[in-house]
Amino acid sequence: MDDGRNPRPRRAGGRAIGNVGNPAVCETSRTDEEAPQAFALELSSFQLRTTHAMSPLASVCLNLADDHLEWHGSRTAYRNAKARIYEHTQQACLYPADDAVVQEMVDEADVIEGARAIGMTPGLPAVGMIGVVDGIVVDRAFGKKRWTEGIELFEIADIAHLASAGAALPEHILRDAIAAASLARAAGVEPGVIRDALRDFSSGGHRLELVNSVDGVRYVDDSKATNAHAARASLQAQEDRSVVWIVGGQAKGAQFDELVASQRGKLRSVVVIGVDQEPWRQALDGIDIPVVWIAPDARDPMEQAVKAAQQLAAGWGTVLLAPACASLDQFSSYAQRGELFATAARELHG
């Protein structure tokens, strides 16, 4: 394979804006010497719903799962809002190659002539895709010789540090890294720059973060898992029948029956917090494992949840905070929710 090396690689520069970071209008209007030359926008479905003039160089939707349905009014409206990310794309519409729903968004998009659909996969890539060969992420989409050769972007070992301590790298983190690398390749960033950036990258807090180990039990904070899709990815990273799962919060119109049914094999027990518990009562009805319900009006719901989880863990496995819900019913943010979980876990004694 072509390793894509350049003796003097061009360094990429950019800044995150949109749903995170600074407002886009502030950054894109800068004219000072330090003004970024490229921008990475994370756009929420709320922002996309009212966005009409954007024309991105490259765009990607990582998944579609029920979220914010109470705001959008229906799954179809939510789906259509997210699909707007691909409208007027100039070069590359990136999508998970195993997700037919997102691929349909790409197929339907009104793009700039010449824009290509490029699949991303944790498996072997076909021509026109980016994927994995023998532990190496390989670009078969942007290289001039993509019909016969792939360009090495990075090794899975380069992002192993993004796994929580003592755990294997979750597949969704690999998928995220492939997506980031794919966007960079669409912008002409050299492989060496991508590799170095991923080696140096550290994720924000409350993302599968090991906060304590007590008496054989791991306490993992994934408070950032604010919807069912994120919680599913978090659970899939755990060993079978090992998890005491802390869930609940603002359901945002979502139901959790499918999530619970699909991840039952990971669970030993469940602790439910939050004011909006009815969707969880429906999803957990008849489940053959212990379920503890923390009172919606509890003054210290996270402390109670962690203590209950410790009792349920009984000296082995993982207590996992992956709520599948927003946090503003009982906390000021998902970050505060995670911090209170970590504090309570660190105060435990064997």
For 90-132, the pLDDT digits (tens) are 999 999 999 999 999 999 999 999 999 999 999 999 999 999 9
Query: Which of 28-42, 95-109, 153-167, 254-268 is predicted with the least confidence, judged by mean pLDDT?
Result: 28-42
Q: What is the pTM of this model?
A: 0.81
CB atoms within 10 A of CB 92: 23
Q: Which residues partner with 93 through β-bridges?
A: 59, 117
Tens-place pLDDT, residues 1-41:
444 434 333 344 556 687 777 777 888 888 888 888 888 88
CATH code at 15-200:
3.40.1190.10
Q: Helix or strand or coil: residue 94?
A: strand
- Domain limits, the chain: 15-200, 209-346
CB 232 within 8 A of CB 222: no
Q: Phi then psi for 294, rounded to 5 degrees? A: -85, 130
- Give the DSSP letter of residue 8: S
| 33-46: burial string, b at 16+ Cβ within 10 Å, e else | eeeeeebbbebebe
Query: How many residues appear in the chain?
Result: 350
* Residue 203 to residue 209: CA distance in whole angstroms: 10
The CATH code of the domain at 209-346 is 3.90.190.20
